[in-house]
Structure 1
């Protein structure tokens, strides 16, 4: 029995390294998620919210936030060992549209969000939710 216990732990550790290809120390990195309200000013007085955003994961609710044009909603996260970290947001453009989008997926965003200071940048616009990993190139990933 003693020999089996002595072998089991190294085998378990070897198995976990082989099957979870997370980048070395990636689970120690803080990722910064930013969602900015870049919607046009339509039937909303300046400074008043025209976007309502609620973001959360299975384990953490980062809150419901009314956002005026130009405001930024931010939070930090780290990737868990199983690479299952996922934050999603429900966005509601007052009187117009609603959408749910994944603001952070560990497997998808581990590499692409490291280009700009470990940040995942999102912009809510008239035609959808745009992503940028470098804060200069934007792609509409979630059309309304």
Structure 2
């Protein structure tokens, strides 16, 4: 019986340390991804879509969206057990440019998006795709 306690305690401790990162419910946190069309109305008319965004992951196809200036494309996701959750988008600026970018990558975005209400904010602009983690400073993360 004494040997069982000697084995059980280290196993319990090891499991606790392994589980510690999830103690606050990281697996259950919803991350909110926002992609906003901030392109100018150059060569397009007001009210007519000038950005086409197609987003998906390995397991979930979010479909294609035609977006007018100022429109926001939003979805939620959770991080999977292996931290391999990845959503990527193809952005096509009608008549101009096309780019594919990672809109949510678990290992990259877990902490940086957690800081601002679990949100990852993206802005599609004339010179690229900008990221914002605190609703104050934007970074051009993907150039056209």
- Alignment TM-score, normalising by the size of structure 1: 0.86
* C-alpha deviation, 1:17, in angstroms: 2.3
Question: Match of 2:73, SS?
Answer: strand
Quote the RMSD (CA, aligned, Å): 2.3
**Separation of aligned partners in 1, 2:120 and 2:27:** 16
Q: How far did residue 63 of structure 1 move?
A: 1.3
| Contact 1:56–1:62 (CA under 8 A) maintained in structure 2 | yes
Using the alignment, how far apart are the partners of 1:21 and 1:141 within structure 2? 28
**The residue matched to 1:111 in structure 2 has which SS?**
helix
Structure 1 residues 76-119: Cα deviation after superposition (integer angstroms, max 9, x where no partner): 00000100000000000001000000000000000000122110
Query: CA offset at residue 136 of structure 1?
Result: 1.1
3-state SS of 1:69 partner: coil
Aligned length: 136
Give unpaired runs (5+ residues) of structure 2.
Answer: none
TM score, norm. by length of structure 2: 0.86
Q: Mark the runs of 5 or more structure 1 residues left unpaired by the alignment.
A: none
Structure-2 change in CA distance of 1:71 and 1:105 (3 Å): same
- After the TM superposition, list the runs of 4 or more consecutive aligned residues in structure 1 that deviate by more than 4 angstroms: 20-24
Secondary structure at the aligned position of 1:108 is classed as helix
Matches within 5 A, 1:69-80: 69-80=69-80
Residue 93 of structure 2 corresponds to which residue in structure 1? Answer: 93
Shift in CA distance, 126/107, structure 1 to aligned 2, threshold 3 Å: same
Counterpart Cα distance in 1 of 2:18 and 2:57: 25
Distance 1:44 1:112, change over 3 A: same
* SS of corresponding position for 1:113: helix
Residue 54 (structure 2) aligns with? 54
Structure 1: distance between partners of 2:23 and 2:65: 33
